């Protein structure tokens, strides 16, 4: 597995990471713990060194799984986790309240360190921007944790360009984690120029369009009630039917490259910038191996341009989040 460096930070990771959320949360029933650990360790064996989790995934469960799975390899891997949510008393105790107050961050980090079975978090992201806490205070709290040796690098997730600049002025931001794929290219206008200017790495989550770009989801697909996609407008039956045209374009390119649609979607991201590190997630070993195959495909500038022109001609239907989630992004 080739390595990449996230921006100017010096943080080196495998060209593809593993998003671990779906093993415990958000995309249907949780994977049995021993099987989840087995999959994470299989990723390590295949050269993956970058693993992504968060306090809210479960909540707590995913950090436990990741910590146990990676304990034997701790010196050889980079673990990223996130703070910023807490139970909302006004919403049946669901984890929908935002809290990035410095005291809260420090409490979260202490608990995350224990679950992750580590002394230091390699990359700590603010999960969503908290409008009630100035980003300068949040960045300052992470700076304190870095100076204390409990965190190595600071990241933001789904933050807007102005917020990134303000945070970066207090504590250099190593990476932005936001959704980016052939299914959602908006970051090219809103944040990628800022990241390039400031020397910040980009970690796309949902690089396969929450599975849609694999070609394995169509209008007839039924989502489990615990699957977040069941409430996502872009994944309504009508929109899935309309958006199949995009999958058709990616599939056609994949056939030309003797690859799968998922591999082409990942190869496209890797071809965009040398400091982009996608983190596809999966619960299956066969899919893990398929995804890692995407890092072996090199698309030349002409192929990238042709793929973008063909895909840009198709209007993607449906918002990528329900209204309640939409308001938490691009702040």
pLDDT at 154 over 90: yes
Q: Name all domains of the chain by residue range, CATH numbers in brackets.
A: 3-326 (3.20.20.100)
| Predicted local confidence at residue 106, as pLDDT | 98
If phi > 0 it is left, if psi is from -120 to 50 it is alpha, else beta; for residue 60 that is left
Q: Work out the mean pLDDT of the chain and round it to a whole number.
A: 96
**Are the CB atoms for 49 and 76 separated by under 8 Å?**
yes
Q: Are 266 and 294 in contact (CB under 8 A)?
A: yes
pLDDT (tens digit per residue) in 294-328:
999 999 999 999 999 999 999 999 999 887 777 77
Report residue 57's pLDDT band, with 50, 70 and 90 as the boundaries.
very high
Is residue 57 part of the annotated active site? The answer reads yes
* Run of H or E including 70: helix 61-70
Q: Are strands 173-179 and 151-157 parallel, antiparallel or unpaired?
A: parallel
Strand partners, 12: 5
pLDDT value of residue 322 = 81
- How much of the chain exceeds pLDDT 70, in percent? 100
Query: Which tens digits make up the pLDDT trace of 162-212?
Result: 999 999 999 999 999 999 999 999 999 999 999 999 999 999 999 999 999
Whether pTM > 0.85 for this model: the answer is yes
pLDDT of 70-116, one tens digit each?
Answer: 999 999 999 999 999 999 999 999 999 999 999 999 999 999 999 99
Q: Name the residue among 136, 132, 141, 199 with its Cα closest to residue 170.
A: 136
Q: What is the pLDDT of residues 136-146, one digit of tens each?
A: 999 999 999 99
Q: Is the dihedral of CA 61, 62, 66, 67 positive or negative?
A: negative
- Structure confidence by residue, pLDDT tens digits, 105-130: 999 999 999 999 999 999 999 999 99
- Pair 265, 299: CB distance under 8 Å: no
């Amino acid at each position: 597995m080739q390595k990449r460096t996230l921006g100017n930070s010096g943080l080196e990771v495998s060209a593809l990471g593993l998003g671990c959320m779906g093993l415990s949360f958000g995309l249907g029933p949780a994977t049995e713990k021993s099987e989840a650990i087995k999959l994470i360790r299989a990723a390590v064996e295949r050269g993956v060194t970058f693993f992504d989790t968060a306090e809210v995934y479960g909540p707590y469960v995913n950090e436990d799984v990741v910590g146990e799975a990676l304990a034997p390899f701790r010196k050889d891997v980079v673990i990223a986790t996130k703070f910023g949510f807490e139970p909302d008393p006004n919403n049946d105790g669901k984890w929908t309240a935002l809290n990035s107050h410095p005291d809260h961050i420090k409490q979260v980090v202490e608990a995350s360190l224990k679950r992750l079975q580590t002394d230091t978090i390699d990359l700590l992201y603010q999960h969503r921007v908290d409008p009630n806490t100035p980003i300068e205070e949040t960045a300052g709290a992470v700076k304190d944790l870095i100076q204390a040796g409990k965190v190595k690098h600071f990241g933001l997730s789904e933050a807007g360009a102005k917020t990134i600049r303000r945070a970066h002025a207090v504590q250099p931001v190593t990476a932005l984690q936001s959704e980016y794929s052939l299914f959602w290219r908006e970051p090219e206008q809103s944040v990628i120029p800022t990241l390039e200017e400031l020397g910040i790495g980009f970690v796309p989550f949902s690089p396969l369009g929450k599975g849609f770009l694999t070609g394995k989801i169509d209008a007839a697909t039924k989502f489990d009630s615990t699957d977040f996609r069941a409430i996502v407008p872009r994944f309504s039956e009508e929109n899935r039917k309309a958006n199949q045209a995009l999958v058709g374009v990616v599939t056609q390119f994949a056939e030309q490259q003797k690859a799968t649609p998922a591999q082409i979607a990942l190869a496209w991201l890797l071809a965009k910038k040398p400091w982009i590190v996608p983190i596809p997630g999966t619960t299956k070993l066969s899919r893990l191996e398929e995804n890692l195959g995407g890092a072996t495909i090199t698309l030349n500038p002409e192929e990238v341009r042709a793929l973008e022109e063909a895909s840009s001609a198709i209007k993607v239907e449906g918002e990528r989040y329900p209204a309640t989630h939409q308001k938490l992004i691009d702040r």
